[in-house]
Structure 1
Amino acid sequence: MRVLITGQSYHPAFNGQAVFTVNLAEGLAARGHEVMVVASSDCKRPYCQTRNGVQIRRLGAISLSRWHRDAALTPFPDRALGKILREFRPHIVHIQDHYPISRSAVRLARLQGIKTLGTNHFMPQNLKPYLGWLAQVGGDALDWLLWHWMLHLYNQLDFVTAPSRTAVAILQRVGLTTPAFPVSCGVDVEFFRPLPHLDPLAWRRHFQLAPDRTVFLYVGRVDGEKRLDILLHACQRLQDTPIQLAIAGRGAAQDELQRLAQKLGLGDRVRFLGFVPQEELPALLNSVDIFAMPSDAELLSIATLEAMACGRPVLAARGQALPELITEGVNGLLFRPGDPADAARQMARLVQMRDAWAQMGQANRTKAEFHHVGKTVEIYEQIYGSLVSDMPSPYVSARRPSRPIFPRKVQELLTQFRH
């Protein structure tokens, strides 16, 4: 099968959408499918390359670094996409967002009778930190406008997926009418795994982390919607508790957060590690004590799944889809979103629960295995086949738009991810 995947970002970007797209594209290619990814260029000019069996077409883009240092946009992609569709002749087009490349891909695909599928990674919270005064005065009206912008495209698709039950429920609540189903983004549980023979103290020295404190680690984009300020304020409240917060990643809020850490007098209680290469992430995760995810805008959180796969207990905000991953007291603790006092209380509780860390870590490893990226790729492979084959009713009934009719094998795979 020939699969065309479109979106704003791809490798070497490390945001959740890019990581998912890479895992899906390379997983499909490894299973013998012909896969092409079309994304905005990361260096402004257009270029082509092949990586791990995936054909990559980068379209010329303009930089949006004024809003975010890693952002770019391809404003007029129709001509390039028209040529790609003619030459590649995809059986299905799978979009990852609602920006110009994906909009153009859907419109051109529909004109040619090509089936379209979309995975949603978007929430208004992802954009609002970069909208300045508009985000402050826009309120519910701005949320409605941003959702309407996204739904205008996704309601034209043949099928929609989202990373969690929460993500699908949100889409249906705001007005999605296209059949939709939750499919996990997945995690490579063979790459991210417990490393019992690793020397954690050596790796802590490598990352300049404290050898004698409980280390909480965040990995991901260092952007406003990730709410890392909550963890910094929580650390200030725990001056007498021997902890250290490590923040791995880069993003638009890094300078602001470093200034906040200095203002709060955190000193070496917080370490900004910057970008950590992918090959070092399993060692980093295995060398710390607890993973922390303070964001209240997570539709699943691949970074949290990676930490779970490495057997780390998790501290997370009780917001959006994170409670689907964390069961209070079993594999971690949850705190009220946006509440540094509650975050501090739960951090202190976790420090005192040292004897339970191993059991929590094992529970997380077991749960992560249900999100094996191989299952994710297999589910999408089956969904593509069902859509392309024009089954008598591959969609859903008019009354129950959230319950697609698929072959039994697909239903079994999807049911695994619902639980």
Structure 2
Amino acid sequence: MKIAMVSEQASPLARDLGQGAHVAELSAAMTALGHEVTVYTRRAEPSSPERVRTGDGYELVRVCAGPAEELTEDAVVAHLGDFAGFLADEWRLRPPDVVHAHHWTSGLAAVLGARRLQIPVVHSPHGLGTHTAPQRSDAEALVAREAAWSVATSSAEAARLQALGVRRTRSSTVPCGVDLELFHPDGPAITRGRFKRVVTADDPKSANGFGELITALSTLDETELVVVGEDARTRWQRRARERGLADRVVFAGAVPRLKRPALLRSADVVVCTPDAEPFGILALEAMACGVPVVATAVGALADVVVHDVTGLLVAPHDVRALTRALRRSLGDETLLQEFGSAARDRMAARYPTARLAAEMVAVYERADLAAARREGSSITA
């Protein structure tokens, strides 16, 4: 199958733990299954080549649409017409069997680019209903109507799709997956000192509860925090210093995917405390390494982490609950081992990337049939 992935605002080569990582993982797995995958993203650096073949075998196309620099979501809207025009021209010459658009900006460009070409579009909204911008709400509703199929990554997002009017017969839930051959408990771990270790990630694009985590850490003795994230030091070093934690907070920078297993294995607990989370990638990777997760009960995290089985769930911004969860888990080595073992078992049972890639291909096949039926009914009418 020829698959066109559209990820306008998140390159799969970016070093993030969000949409870019999800698209990269999915594209690599589908390529390994024998499918021909091309990913389209907006060029954000002038020196980047337009087309490259990635190490995982899929093609990456950087589309010139607007200035070659990072743009805000609001700013990029003005250039979606150019992005859609490029896709339409490209797909006339190289028609894919299916288009899979990620996020609402990609969805809008994809449905416009594919509209006259009779190519089915599958849309993953990623974060549906977690915003208040009227422009985005209108666009999401339009894409939901135009797309042949909608895919949620969590049960919460599936419910929001239905609230938007998407029928169950035209939607599926396929969560993000994890590479169990890379992320597993048996392997090297980064050397650490005598303190307990908590690992978290900073996402500058969302409210990640880091302030609450710093407050909780200030009440815990002999516990250090390792923060993954390219700009985390700039954003949070002052907060850590003000709390008297400068010597117990380590800013690790952007940790490449191949080096994350060793870091995660060194952790006693991984903490994920965002307001909203459509992917849950750090939690997936940690659990695959046999590390318990303390997380907010939002989005994909509420599905991935089974409370009191693979880790603990807390409400967003509840410092007391977060502190209790950390005290309970870090203070009981037997509980940590039980949570970690159950976490690995859960990843093996439900979240292998290859399995979920095959599920997504089955969705593409259903979308193709749905699009054909829709086209046939419009001709008959």
Which of 360, 364, 368 is matched with 1:380 structurally?
Answer: 360
1:91 to 77, 97, 118: 97
Of 253, 266, 269, the residue aligned with 1:290 is 269
1:357 corresponding residue in structure 2: 336
Quote the Cα distance in structure 1 between the aligned partners of 2:370 and 2:276.
36
Q: Does residue 50 of structure 1 match 2:47?
A: no
Structure 1: give runs of 5+ residues left out of the alignment.
Answer: 129-141, 395-419
What residue in structure 1 maps to residue 378 of structure 2? none
* 1:298-346 superposed Cα distances (whole Å, 9 cap, x missing partner): 1240110110000001111123332322222221112221122221121
Match of 1:327 among 294, 303, 306: 306
**Is 2:148 aligned against 1:158?**
yes
Q: Does 1:304 align with 2:262?
A: no
Structure 2 unaligned blocks of 5 or more: 375-381
Q: CA deviation at 1:157?
A: 0.5
Residues 331-350 of structure 1 aligned to structure 2 (within 5 Å): 331-350=310-329
CA contact (8 A) 1:64 1:72 kept: no
Which residue matches 2:377? none
| Superposed CA offset, 1:75-97 (max 9, x none) | 42243222211121111111012
Structure 1 counterpart of 2:124: 119
**Distance in structure 1 (CA, Å) of the matches to 2:151 and 2:182:** 25
Deviations 1:179-233 (A, max 9, x none): 22210111111110012x53x4xx23xxxx5x11111101353444222222112
The residue number in structure 2 matching 1:139 is none
State whether structure 2 residue 217 is matched by structure 1 residue 250: no
The 3 A distance-change label for structure 1 pair 319 and 30 is closer
Distance apart, 1:30 and its partner CA: 2.0
Q: Alignment length, in residue pairs?
A: 365
TM-score, normalised to structure 1's length? 0.80
Is the contact between residue 128 and residue 160 of structure 2 (CA under 8 Å) also seen in structure 1?
A: no
CA–CA distance in structure 1, aligned partners of residues 237 and 78 of structure 2: 28
**1:241-268 Cα distance to aligned partner (Å, 9 max, x none):** 22111111224x6523222112222121
Q: Secondary structure at the match of 1:36?
A: strand
Alignment partners' CA distance in 2, 1:26 and 1:74: 28
**How far apart, in 1, do the equivalents of 2:297 and 2:310 lie?**
14
The amino acid that maps onto 1:18 is G
Overall identity of the aligned pairs, in %: 25
User: Matched residues in 1 for 2:314 and 2:116: separation?
Assistant: 48
- On the 8 A contact 2:88/2:114 being kept in 1, the answer is no
1:33 equivalent in alignment to 2:13 = no
RMSD between superposed Cα atoms in Å: 2.7
Check 1:104–1:325 CA distance in 2 against 1; reply closer, same or farther (3 A cut): closer
Between the aligned partners of 1:4 and 1:322, the Cα distance in structure 2 is 28
- Partner of residue 194, structure 2: 212
